[in-house]
Amino acid sequence: MMWPQIDPVALQLGPLAIHWYGLMYIAGFSATWYLVRLQLQQAGLWQTAVSSEAYEGLFTALILGVVLGGRIGYVLFYNFGYYVHHPLEILYVWQGGMSFHGGLVGPVIAGWWYCRRHGLPFFQLADRFFTVAPLGLMFGRIGNFINGELWGRVTDVPWGMIFPGAGPEPRHPSQLYEMTLEGVLLFVLLWSVRKRDWPAGARVGLFLVGYAAARIFCEQFRQPDAQLGFLFGPVTMGMLLSSVMLAAGLVWLFVLFRSREKVI
């Protein structure tokens, strides 16, 4: 199969080019904003524990956390050797280069800081944001596929695709695997358990475990980053970071459900 020749520019308005990848970010943020607010309303927390003004401020802090964390994570984990000699290019975010794991830590830190400063229930909010976070991942992987980037390893499966810039051999469309597992299926799982009487923070742990397991599986089909390759044996950087994430999620869930204490 040939990769569909999708123009990465969705709309050209004179010198202004609107890219599909940017629209995927907007779609992810918009879906998150609406569905988190819906959950807060259903739980009776809207305008009681969380005002609309506080919510808008928190959301802005989280967006900044995603962008800054994703960029810093990419610099540190995936291309430090290059950026240490070209520090100004760290600011060139339009050239690409974002790390999911950095984009996870960034908003967690920003959200914790904002909630503490404004007296908001951090873990109750975190549960609801993490419940819909897979939708943002889904849109992001669609953007990767449209851009023809982050392709998979060479394969002979019937649905293998030939990506421009990846050579003449068909490869796994690993972006679509990640979209399905890390995005659609993980969202369905978290959304289906959102009303369970679990300790606050449990859905955070479930997200960590679910995403890490899906990512480690999908890394079996994804081509390692060219500047890193395999770290050792079959292990990639994505696997290593996700393994830490998996361990953290399992420990967090064990502590929560063993104590059954409500963390506020």
Binding-site annotation, residues: 141
For the beta carbon of residue 260, count every other beta carbon within 10 angstroms: 8
Alpha helices in the chain (DSSP H): 20-42, 52-78, 80-83, 100-118, 122-147, 174-178, 186-192, 202-218, 237-259
Q: Is the dihedral of CA 43, 44, 50, 56 positive or negative?
A: positive
User: Please, which residues bridge with residue 11 across strands?
Assistant: 18
Alpha-carbon distance of 194 to 235, in angstroms, equals 34
C-alpha–C-alpha distance, residues 123 and 120, integer Å: 9
Token pair in block for residue 161: 């695709």
In the DSSP assignment, the letter for residue 94 is G
